[in-house]
């Protein structure tokens, strides 16, 4: 689950670096369109929408919007203007990564126990150090969510698909969470702090001065209901600006 203000965030710069590194040290184990198509079909079977956008911010390869109580969100987006969607390895990395966030939504939080995270981080530092670098920009549970997503990219396609079936399609799975695991943080209405920063940066470049003043007043009001309503309204305007299309592999 970015549009810039006057300065780009360190997170986005790191992501762009990671995309560049991928051409030389890709951890992906998928080489065929069949792997990508299979995983996309599993995601769609779980009722998650899979869309593509040609207007994502520079450096953003994809993102996942968590479900909301009003039935919106639950959307995985591939940024076709920032990756070559005909490159199956690059496309697999994006789908595998973002599908992890879908699994986390299905599970209501991280999908592995806390004791496994240190091992994942060591593995990431050894096999994909550029991803470990990106993680340095995250904190708390959000960092663990991203760690699991990067770790998923290192797994084989068979493992990723099996895990997705287990967490999102199994009859034993819990009801899908309608919020980001960091539920108390209002920024997670947009899918986390990173997406929240992107949304505000987009607003600063696209709203009128009067609208920005009104938004600032609402955000400073500390009225949770007003803020949540403003964020959802702003997010809807942002989504409409992204020219999202139904994702098609070919």
Write the pLDDT tens digit of every residue in 21-57: 443 344 444 558 899 999 999 999 999 999 999 999 8
Helix, strand or coil, per DSSP, at residue 128: coil
Where does 29-169 have alpha helices with state H? 33-45, 88-107, 117-127, 129-135, 140-153, 157-164
Q: Kindly give the parts of the chain with pLDDT less than 70.
A: 1-31, 171-194, 222, 224, 243-250
Is-contact 203 215, C-beta < 8 A? yes
Q: Bridge partners of 245?
A: 52
pLDDT by residue (tens digit) across 208-229? 888 888 888 887 776 767 787 8
Contacts with 122 (C-beta within 8 Å, 6 or more apart), sequence order: none
Distance CA 173, CA 169 (A): 7
Q: What's residue 76's pLDDT?
A: 96
Distance CA 35, CA 160 (A): 10
pTM: 0.63
Is-contact 98 63, C-beta < 8 A? yes
For residue 4, the surrounding DSSP H or E stretch is none
Tokens of 247: 């994702």
Tokens 């240190």 sit at which residue?
Answer: 118
Tokens of 83: 């990756």
């Amino acid at each position: 689950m970015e549009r810039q203000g006057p300065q780009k965030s360190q997170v986005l710069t790191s992501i762009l670096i990671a995309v560049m590194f991928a051409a030389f040290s890709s951890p992906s184990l998928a080489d065929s369109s069949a792997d990508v198509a299979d995983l996309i079909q599993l995601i769609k079977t779980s009722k998650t929408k899979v869309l593509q956008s040609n207007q994502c911010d520079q450096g953003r390869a994809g993102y996942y919007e968590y479900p909301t109580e009003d039935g919106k969100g639950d959307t995985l987006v591939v940024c076709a203007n920032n990756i070559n969607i005909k490159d199956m390895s690059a496309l697999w990395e994006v789908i595998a990564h973002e599908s992890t966030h879908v699994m986390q939504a299905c599970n209501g939080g991280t999908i592995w126990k806390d004791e496994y995270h240190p091992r994942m981080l060591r593995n990431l530092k050894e096999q994909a150090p550029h991803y470990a670098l990106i993680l340095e920009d995250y904190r708390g549970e959000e960092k663990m969510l991203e760690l699991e997503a990067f770790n998923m990219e290192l797994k084989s396609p068979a493992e990723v698909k099996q895990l997705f079936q287990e967490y999102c399609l199994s009859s034993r799975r819990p009801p899908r969470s309608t919020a980001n695991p960091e539920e108390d943080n209002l920024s997670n209405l947009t899918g986390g702090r990173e997406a929240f920063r992107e949304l505000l940066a987009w607003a600063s470049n696209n709203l009128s001065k009067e609208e920005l003043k009104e938004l600032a007043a609402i955000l400073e009001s500390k009225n949770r209901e007003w803020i949540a309503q403003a964020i959802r309204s702003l997010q809807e305007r942002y989504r409409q600006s992204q020219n999202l299309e139904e994702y098609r592999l070919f």
